[in-house]
Amino acid sequence: MPKSKKNSLKLDMPAAIRRNARGLILLLVGVIFGTLIVVGQQGEPMTKKQIPVSDRIENAIKAKEPKFKLAGKLLRNNEKEKYALLGWQSGEDIVSSNTYELASPQEAEEMLRKSLDAPRSVPVQTVKLTQLGDEAYMSTGLYSKGETNLLLRKGNYFIIMTGSSQGLAKRFARHMVTEIDN
């Protein structure tokens, strides 16, 4: 009879362990599932205002100008400086932008004035643009082959942009202003 007791104990032990293991697994699955539901209900999607402007601009250009690829990106976000340098390229066409986020629209306006009044190494023709941001100016070097600089202020943002053509610079500037407005 001792043999049958051993056999019955061996058979009973694993069955009890299996029942306990199944119970633990079901309990863990329930806890994990419940946690995911609670976390999912609490986590709200980010609003556009919570996404940095540089990321919104990058995403907008990617969506609206699919031929252009991001060629470079540099972000500075500290107490002294808050700006993004972004560059795009499509074949021979290039666009680069420096977007500064300042404390106030007055600071952005002052930075725009200083940039417009800065001495130039070559003569340029500067034209005021309307219906682009709060204030915008386009400069083309008299000896350059189409390369254009665009200075733009929208609220407390100041943008310096260089494009391989006037049309390209204006188009990218409109995309950027739209994202700042949003």
Whether the predicted pLDDT of 176 surpasses 50 = yes
Q: In percent, how much of the chain has pLDDT > 70? A: 72
Residue 78's domain comprises 48-181
Cα separation of 62 and 66, whole Å?
Answer: 5
CB-CB contact of 152 with 167 (8 Å): no
Pair (82, 119) in one structural domain: yes
Pair (53, 39) in one structural domain: no
Q: Is residue 78 helix, strand or coil?
A: coil
Q: Which band of pLDDT confidence, cut at 50, 70 and 90, is reported for residue 11?
A: very low
Pair (27, 56) in one structural domain: no
CB-CB contact of 51 with 68 (8 Å): no
If one counts the domains in the chain, the total is: 2
**CATH code, domain carrying 81:** 3.40.1000.20
Encode pLDDT of 18-59 as tens digits: 566 676 676 667 667 666 666 555 555 555 556 788 888 899
Helices (H), the chain: 2-42, 53-64, 105-117, 166-181
Cα separation of 6 and 8, whole Å?
Answer: 5
DSSP string, 123-148: -EEEEEESSSSSEEEEEEETTSSS-E
Predicted TM-score (pTM) above 0.75: no
Pair (54, 16) in one structural domain: no
Pair (108, 145) in one structural domain: yes
Pair (38, 6) in one structural domain: yes
